[in-house]
Amino acid sequence: MNESQKVAVVTGAGSGIGRAVARKLLEEGWNVALAGRRREPLEATAAGSRESALPVVADVASADAVERLFAQVRDRWGRVDVLFNNAGRFGPSGDVGEISPDDWDEVVAVNLTGSFLCAAAAFRAMKAQRPQGGRIINNGSVSAHSPRPKSVAYTATKHAITGLTKSIELDGRPYGITCGQIDIGNTRTEIMDTLGVSQGALQADGSRRAEPTFPVEEAANAVFLMASLPPSATVGSMLITASGMPLVGRG
C-alpha cells in the first residue's frame, strides 16, 4: 500500500449516499472498504476500482460482523483513517401508537446500535494504530433537527446520533480521533423516492407537497470535505439541504 493513501470504511456503501461517498473517495485515490448486507450492490460500487476497493458483506447490527469487517480492513491496509457511519433505514411510516415494538427494534438496531458498533471498532483501531488518530463521520439527517410526520423511530435514532457524535468527539480527543456529523436533507436517493418527496411528501399539516432535491454527488462532496481535512481541523456539524427545502419553519 502507498503510505500516502488514506483508508476509509463506508457503511451502507451499496446504494444512495454511501455509494456516492465511496465512489468519491475512490476517485480521489483513497483505499475504501465498502460495507453492506448484499454483495452485488457492493461489487457495483467497486466497479473499476478493484485494487483500492474492498467489498465486505456485513450487517452493522451484528457485533461479530462489525469486528470481522474491521479485521479485514486492518489485514488489507493496516489502519483506518476515516469511518463514514452511513448505514441506516427509515422504517415503516406510522405514528407512535402504530409502530410495533419489533419495527422500533429493527430501526434502532441498524441506525443507532450499528453506528455505535462501527464507531467503537473504528475507535479501537484508530487508538491502537501508529500514527495514532483518525476521523469518524456520522450520517445524521435533517430529522436530527426536525421530524417528518409518522417517523418516530427514524427521528429518535437520528437525534440519538447527535449525542453519540458529541460523546465520541470528547472521548477521542486524547488520541487524535475526531468525530463530526453531517445532516443531509432531500438529496436524490432511493429513500427520497420511497418518501415521495419529488411527487408530494407528507407535511405537518397533513397535506402533501412536492419538495426540491439535489444531486447525491453534492452530498458526497460535502462528506469528502469533512474526511479530507488535516488532523488540526474538524467539522463538528454540517447541515446540507436542497435549496428551498421546507425545513426552516417546518411544522
Give pLDDT tens digits along the chain (251 positions): 555 689 999 999 999 999 999 999 999 999 999 999 999 999 999 998 888 999 999 999 999 999 999 999 999 999 999 999 999 998 888 999 999 999 999 999 999 999 999 999 999 999 999 999 999 999 999 888 888 888 999 999 999 999 999 999 999 999 999 999 999 998 888 766 666 676 777 787 888 888 889 999 999 999 999 999 999 999 999 999 999 888 776 54
DSSP label at residue 130: S
Nearest to 56 by CA among 41, 69, 66: 69
**Torsions phi, psi for 135 (to 5 deg):** -140, 130
Region of 120 please: left (phi>0), alpha (psi -120 to 50) or beta.
alpha
pTM higher than the cut 0.85: yes
Buried b (16+ CB within 10 A) or exposed e, 31-52: bbbbbbbeeebbeebbeebeeb
Instruction: Report angle CA 46, 48, 50 to the nearest 5 degrees.
Output: 65
Q: What is the domain partition of the chain in residue ranges?
A: 7-241
Q: What is the pLDDT of residue 195?
A: 61
Cell of 129: 494504530
Q: Which residues are tagged catalytic?
A: 154
CATH entry, 7-241, from 3.40.50.2300, 3.30.70.1450, 3.40.50.720, 2.102.10.10: 3.40.50.720
The β-bridge partners of 35 are: 11, 56
